[in-house]
Amino acid sequence: MKRHHAGEDLTDAIADAPHGPEVFERLKMIGPAAAVASAKKINERPAIVFKALAYANLFFMVVILFCVAYWNWGPPLMFLLKRG
């Protein structure tokens, strides 16, 4: 009906349409939207690796902070060695 132009966000307009969103499932995706849809499947693995490395980094930082805090404020290690 030439009421909508390419590139517009039609999320609000679907409520006034004589059809529902199921009509869009029959259309073939082309252009950048198709590339984004297929890229989401490809980009899941790097995100998982990034999260694993971020948590590993957090763990090592906590261990280093614990060692520094123990070195500054903890009991001397010679005390532990003489005890045995």
Domain boundaries of the chain, sorted by first residue: 13-83
Do residues 46 and 53 touch, judged by C-beta distance below 8 A?
Answer: no
Residue-averaged pLDDT of the chain: 79
Q: What is the CA radius of gyration of the chain?
A: 29
User: How crowded is residue 28: how many other Cβ atoms within 10 Å of its Cβ?
Assistant: 5
CA gap 20, 15 in Å, rounded: 8
- Tokens 């010679």 -> residue: 78
Q: What percent of the chain has pLDDT over 70?
A: 74
Over residues 22-30, mean pLDDT:
75
pTM as predicted: 0.43
pLDDT tens string 29-61? 776 766 666 656 666 788 899 999 999 999 999
CA gap 46, 69 in Å, rounded: 34
**What per-residue confidence (pLDDT) applies to 57?**
98
**What per-residue confidence (pLDDT) applies to 4?**
72
